Structure 1
Amino acid sequence: MGKKGFKYTSGQYLYLNAPYLSVYEWHPFTITSAPHEEFVSVHIRAVGKWTKGIKKLLAPEEEGTLEINKQKGPDGKPLIRLDGPFGAASEEVFKFRTVMLVGAGIGVTPFASIIKCLYHLKKTDSKCKIEKAYFFWICRDMTSFEWFQTLLRDLELDMKETGNTFLSINIYLTQRLKEEIREEYKIQQEEMELDPITRLEARTKFGRPDFDTIFDELKEAHIGEKLGVFFCGPRILSKNLRTFCMTKSPKSKKNGAKFVFHKENF
């Protein structure tokens, strides 16, 4: 969508309405574009009646196609109506030298905008405070997030060309796989330049992150710093990360990094 007259910041969401499908039905979606981009984007998974209807409206003829600048539905009414933006912006992210970004399941969506915004500022703003961002993506089924893999691939290529390695990508696949399938993936990971699952240079790990060890490593790597931890996902993991932030933060700066937890509500 064009963004003329629509101002937002990373981490916000909007509501969409399609009059042809339902005049009164509005659905919330996280904004996945970044403020510096010349468009506004959301990513919609076609899993229900309304979202499948949207998919058909936007690409009625052929699977995987999209009619650009389509403004009216079959009934002559506006194809899409938009309300927003809503939600607290993730401005706190930009106040730290080092951040830890954790997205689990659908909770990864808001980090699309945040990561793009961080990288844009890192490239264009000499006053940008961010020096290092550790991104952890925890997902059971990555086939639903191929668009996000594409975003990360583009970032990897750009970072490789510019020599900017501020973003560390860590991907965890929690889907239960047969042992022989896991072993086959591991063999392919060793032999192939890109990960066989995501096509990224970052290797996919199987299972859940060992946050106990991860926090210890970051604590030692960033002694004396305040490290911002930003999370979006299930409540139980949010509770665990908050606990780690409290228990792993030392009383003295000399003994390691202090972790500051932020639960992102999208």
Structure 2
Amino acid sequence: MPACWTLNENVSLTVVLSWLAVNVYLFVDTFRWYEKEEAFFYTRVILGSTLAWARASAVCLNFNCMLILLPVSRNFLSLLRGASLCCRGPWRRQLDKNLKFHKLVAYGITFNGVIHAVAHVFNLERYHLGQAQDAEGLLAALSKLGNAPNESYLNPVRTVYTSTTINLLMTVSGITGLVISVALILIMTSSTEFIRQSYYELFWYIHHIFIIFFISLAIHGAGRIVRGQTPESLQLHNATFCRDLYAEWQAAALCPVPQFSGKEPSAWKWALGPVVLYVCERIIRFWRSHQEVVITKVVSHPSAVLELHMKKRDFKMAPGQYILIQCPSISALEWHPFTLTSAPQEDFFSVHIRASGDWTEALLKAFGMEGQAPSEHRSMPRLAVDGPFGGSLADVFHYPVSVCIATGIGVTPFASLLKSMWYKCYESQSLPGLSKMYFYWICRDAGAFEWFADLLLSLETRMGEQGKAHLLSYHIFLTGWDENQAIHIALHWDESLDVVTGLKQKTFYGRPNWNDEFKQIAYNHPSSSIGVFFCGPKAMSKTLQKMCRLYSSADPRGVQFHYNKENF
């Protein structure tokens, strides 16, 4: 099992370990530098090791803030996906794990942010202790620097009578630090699975606080609170020699009063490139949002599913891609992802939208889909479309054997793939690379089969006429039915066509036994590279991922299951 997991996840493991290694290197290298650097010798007298903790975590924080925007730059990822020469095979699959990497980097930001904030709390308290009346020796001498003419201060806290909170709010670094902390807490708490699933709009709006986060991060170091000895002062004042002569600094020619300055802010340098890239991303999205989208057809399906056919100038797609849709009459800011259900050969592009939240319910209502057929004279809302963007399903045709698994409305991403297969069969075209496709659909409501069963029936007929019926093997599982449906199914069980779908392939009742299914597929295709593609709930995703690891051979020359999950 560990060997199979390593074979399937070696690239992901390499990426994660590389990211972790860079973080550890930056932290350790920066920590050691601040612990040994002569320019910060006197700073360490006041702050101790918390100086190094604060600065090391700050560098790691900057590094992760540089990375956090890259995985959510969809056009950038689509560009990388199209660059097949430099992004092939297992490395190409990493682009489908962009959101996982985005979350991993977010955890890195949170972890280092906590260390940085706690270290500076201790630093602020140590600065206060340096100004206390009972402070003595070198600590007291350093804290009093800056009171006399021609002196620069080292301790930013100038009096012990001012509270730490007030001192914090009197500096640019303190105010921006509080803003960064509050923004990070809001973003992280609103990104929990419960909030995203139940209150997606809340997650969407709060997540855009990242703009305030990055602005505050860029100016956070402008206060230059962390101060060190200037290079000129280091040449004249050797801290190792002069530290015990602090009472004679002004009189001793060999030990003039040391001069200090704040460290130049650097966070903006780390984040500048990704921020510019993301700004370009938003400009492209803004431009696309103002391109005209013509809605050519609206269809209402059972189970509260809305089908939209649209046209847009210069719109080009590939099977398995998705788009972002905005409806200004519902929200001027929200964009929601939907997989395309049309084929590239069609003169329109389509999506199927199920009512599963406030925004989708409002969209169905805007199109008059409240349990009734839409009026032909009803004015339709304006839609904005961004995309298309590449997803993991775009790689289905790149494997010799592909296994496509969907639950409920998760079948929509595969509609485009199957339609594309239909057109290729209709035009007697070959499917380069693909020799067999297994399709599984697990659905609870029999009414939901209607629109998709028509597509399967047409595909089944066309492939049979072309002598390519062997290319597709589909399995439909119905997990929910009432007593009347059960009686009806039993009475028509012996008929040649399935009573639920009208297809030659009979519908299965209950849930699939994935052990048996994967075992049979592995037996049918020894020494094959098999792509497994899934769109559905997280619980089943874990099960399928486990099956891929379990039935992949430890020998790289044996059968290998490569798991791909549709992510937005």
- Alpha-carbon distance change, 240 to 53 in structure 1, aligned in 2, over 3 angstroms: closer
Instruction: Normalising by structure 1, report the TM-score.
Output: 0.82
- Deviation, structure 1 residue 59: 5.8
Q: 1:236 to 1:22 in 2, by over 3 A?
A: closer
Q: How many residues align?
A: 256
Counterpart CA distance in 2 for 1:194 and 1:244 is 32
Cα gap change, 1:251 to 1:48, in 2 (>3 Å)? closer
CA distance in 1, matches of 2:340, 2:353: 11
Alignment pair present for 1:16 and 2:325: yes
| 2:480 is the alignment partner of 1:170 | no
Aligned residue in 2 for 1:157: 461
Shift of 1:230: 0.9
Amino acid at match of 1:38: D
Which has the larger share of strand?
1
Q: Which moved more, 1:181-190 or 1:140-149?
A: 181-190
Q: CA deviation at 1:239?
A: 1.1
Give the whole-Å Cα distance in 1 for the aligned partners of 2:315 and 2:392.
15
Task: Tell me the equivalent position of 1:232.
Answer: 535
What are the ranges of 5 or more consecutive residues in structure 1 without an aligned counterpart? none
Partner of 2:189: none
Whether 1:88 and 2:397 are equivalent positions in the alignment is no
Q: What's the offset of the Cα at 1:206? A: 0.7
Q: Please give the secondary structure, in 1, of the residue aligned with 2:546.
A: helix
Q: What's the secondary structure of 2:493's corresponding residue?
A: helix
What is the TM-score of this pair, normalised by structure 2?
A: 0.41
Shift of 1:111: 0.8
Separation in structure 1 between the aligned mates of residue 520 and residue 491 of structure 2, nearest angstrom: 27
1:1-266 aligned at under 5 Å gives the runs 1-46=310-355, 50-51=359-360, 54-55=363-364, 58=367, 63-64=372-373, 67=376, 73=380, 79-88=382-391, 90-121=393-424, 124-126=428-430, 128-165=432-469, 166-175=471-480, 177-178=482-483, 181-182=485-486, 184-190=488-494, 192-252=495-555, 257-266=559-568
1:207 is displaced (CA, Å) by: 0.7
CA distance in structure 2 between the partners assigned to 1:182 and 1:79 by the alignment: 43
Shift of 1:3: 4.2
Equivalent residue of 2:311, what SS? coil
Question: Alpha-carbon deviation of 1:173?
Answer: 0.8
Say which structure, 1 or 2, has more relative contact order (CA 8 Å, 6+ apart): 1
User: Distance between the aligned counterparts of 2:405 and 2:331, measured in 1?
Assistant: 35
Deviation at 1:22, TM superposition (A): 4.3
Give 1:265's aligned amino acid: N
Q: Report the Cα offset of residue 156 of structure 1.
A: 1.5
Shift of 1:263: 1.5
Shift of 1:114: 1.9
State whether residues 15 and 26 of structure 1, in contact with CA within 8 Å, keep that contact through their aligned partners in structure 2: yes
Instruction: Indicate the SS of the match to 1:172.
Output: strand
Q: Is the 8 A contact 1:249 1:258 kept in 2?
A: yes
Conserved? CA contact 1:99–1:227, under 8 Å: yes
Say if 1:228 and 1:261, in contact at 8 Å, map to a contact too: yes
Residues 56, 107 of structure 1: alpha-carbon distance in 2 compared, 3 angstrom cutoff: closer
Distance in 1, matches of 2:428 and 2:320, equals 20
Q: How far apart are the structure 1 equivalents of 2:376 and 2:386?
A: 22
Whether the 8 Å contact between 2:323 and 2:388 is mirrored in structure 1 is yes
Per the TM alignment, residue 90 of structure 1 is displaced from its structure 2 partner at its CA by 2.7
Q: CA deviation at 1:67?
A: 4.6
Alpha-carbon distance in structure 1 between the residues aligned to 2:545 and 2:530: 13
| Partner SS, residue 8 of structure 1 | coil
How far, CA to CA, are the matches of 1:95 and 1:6 in structure 2?
A: 23
Query: How far is 1:18 from its partner?
Result: 3.2
The amino acid of 2:467's aligned partner reads G
CA contact (8 A) 2:497 2:504 kept: yes
Q: 1:10 Cα shift?
A: 2.3
Q: Which amino acid aligns with 2:473?
A: S
Change (3 A) 1:50 1:151: same
Superposed displacement of residue 204, structure 1: 0.8
CA positional deviation for 1:56: 5.6
Partners of 2:375 and 2:553 lie apart in 1 by 53
Q: Which moved more, 1:127-136 or 1:51-60?
A: 51-60
| Aligned-pair Cα RMSD in Å | 3.0
Which entry has the higher C-alpha Rg, 1 or 2?
A: 2
* Compared CA separation, residues 147 and 66, structure 1 to 2 (3 A): farther
Q: Distance in 1 between matches of 2:316 and 2:392?
A: 12
Distance 1:182 1:40 in 2: 37
- How far is the alpha carbon of 1:48 from its aligned partner? 5.8
